[in-house]
Amino acid sequence: MLGLTRKDTILFLIVIAMVICAPVLLNPFPSNSALAQFNAGYPDLMQRFLIFGIFAIGFNILFGLTGYLSFGHAAFLGAGSYAGVWMFKLLSMNVLPAILVSILVAGVFSVLIGFVSLRRSGIYFSILTLAFAQMSYALAYSVLTPITNGETGLQLSLNDPRILDGVAAADGSLPVANFFGVEMRDSLDVALGGWSFTFNAGYYLCAVFMILAFYIAIRIFRSPFGMMLRAVKSNQQRMSYTGLNPRPYTLAAFVISGMFAGLAGGLMVAMDPLAGAERMQWTRSGEVVLMTILGGMGTLIGPVLGAGLIKYLENILSKINDNVLHQWFSFMPDGLENVIVTLIHPFVGKGWHLTLGLMFMAVVIFLPGGLVQGGQKIAALLRRKKADPNTVKQPAE
């Protein structure tokens, strides 16, 4: 199917099914239950799952296949965001031109940075990409203020020309991002018993790009080009001895990865037409590194799982405060309740990063292959349990 092997086709179909059914799968608890706190099926969070999944997939093409660790990919995310907002301001509120220009601008920007950075490898490459990203962040805040609007961020205005679809909406307010007339904020709410599901137009647009990005990643991983990238990671010096120049391959991987980041930036502004310099900060680059390692570096589905887990923790755990904890443990005696709340308090709310840090440490120590390796170990254990325990192998005569 679509040039994929049977195994890759099954994985691809599973990803499609999960993405399509996410509004239902991510709302397992009734809306009026205490556990509804852990539901993640609302549009804003689901869109973030997909957008950062795309970002991580692209980063994994560089880091997972070539071993080049970039700390500057946030620069391409930010460049794509700024380009997308400018398309909204100058051309049209249709999201398609904004997304395409975001990819193009991020690709050109990644060629410039990659051409210089890839002259070095290892920690020197990482430091160069970090330096370029921080320079981009500083320029967006200062020198490039006429383009980026500095610390205020680039946003829409009623004075924008928007030459293809007018200055403002019919009621005089700011126009809304749309895909050929379908507004990104349009949603269909479905209530079934105690459950409530929201099917959002913006989410499904992100879903289409996510599925395309995942398919492209599979084809790259299984292609001769992907094999060359693995050769770079395995032994670049030996590759050079065979007469092959690794630099064109690494530059191509860097540019493709940057274009994925630009796509993520374009989708961000398609969902919310605002771009700020904070998207270029080094912490954003570090976040995608965590996503890739946590999910499984060099695997296909791993970065998507890592992105989903981190964004889930960020949005769900950060909302749990002491009042919520006291409600959960109100059945306990007052003294014990206060002790339990005090113990859990540092790991939720503003301290959710502590939970993430402990989880990351556990994965790196016990599961170097990330969540994918954990899933493989569980699957192997289940297969062993299904085997007949009474079967005894006879010794060889």
DSSP 353-395: HHHHHHHHHHHHHH-TTHHHHHHHHHHHHHHHHHS-TT--PPP
Q: Is residue 81 assigned to a domain?
A: yes
Domain tally for the chain?
1
Q: Is the pLDDT of residue 389 over 70?
A: no
Q: Is residue 333 assigned to a domain?
A: no
C-beta of residue 125 within 8 angstroms of C-beta of residue 118: yes
User: How far is CA 302 from each of CA 73, 157, 311, rounded to the nearest angstrom?
Assistant: 18, 40, 14
The Cα–Cα gap between 220 and 226 comes to 5
| Average pLDDT for 45-68 | 96
Q: Is the pLDDT of residue 108 over 90?
A: yes
CB atoms within 10 A of CB 396: 4
**pLDDT confidence of residue 382:** 86
**pLDDT confidence of residue 350:** 87
- Chain-centroid distance of CA 225 in Å reads 24
pTM here is 0.93
Per DSSP, the three-state class of 94 is strand
DSSP 8-state class, residue 183: E
Q: Is the pLDDT of residue 34 over 80?
A: no
- Which of 164-168, 261-265, 287-291 is least confident? 164-168
CB atoms within 10 A of CB 381: 10
The Cα–Cα gap between 211 and 198 comes to 20
Task: Cite the beta strand spans of 112-217 per DSSP E.
Answer: 154-155, 178-179, 182-183, 187-192, 195-200
Q: Is residue 334 assigned to a domain?
A: no
Residue 167 pLDDT grade (very low, low, confident, very high; cuts 50, 70, 90) = low
Q: What are phi and psi of 199, to 5 degrees?
A: -110, 110
Residue 396 pLDDT grade (very low, low, confident, very high; cuts 50, 70, 90) = very low
**pLDDT confidence of residue 330:** 86
| Average pLDDT for 46-64 | 96
**pLDDT confidence of residue 168:** 64
Q: Is the pLDDT of residue 128 over 70?
A: yes
Dump pLDDT digits (tens) for 328-372.
888 888 889 999 999 999 999 888 999 999 998 998 899 888 999
| Average pLDDT for 1-11 | 88
Q: Is residue 111 assigned to a domain?
A: yes
C-beta of residue 89 within 8 angstroms of C-beta of residue 160: yes
Instruction: Please provide the average confidence, as pLDDT, over all residues in the chain.
Output: 90
**pLDDT confidence of residue 171:** 65
C-beta of residue 289 within 8 angstroms of C-beta of residue 297: no
Residue-range definition of the domain harbouring residue 232:
6-22+42-281
Q: Is the pLDDT of residue 392 over 60?
A: no
**pLDDT confidence of residue 292:** 94
**pLDDT confidence of residue 48:** 95
Q: Is residue 295 assigned to a domain?
A: no
Tell the residue number behind the tokens 């860097």, with chain if given: 254
Q: Is the pLDDT of residue 80 over 80?
A: yes
**pLDDT confidence of residue 170:** 60
Q: Is residue 293 assigned to a domain?
A: no
Q: Is residue 379 assigned to a domain?
A: no
Q: Is residue 346 assigned to a domain?
A: no
User: How far is CA 95 from each of CA 48, 99, 176, 180, rounded to the nearest angstrom?
Assistant: 17, 6, 10, 8
The Cα–Cα gap between 132 and 113 comes to 7
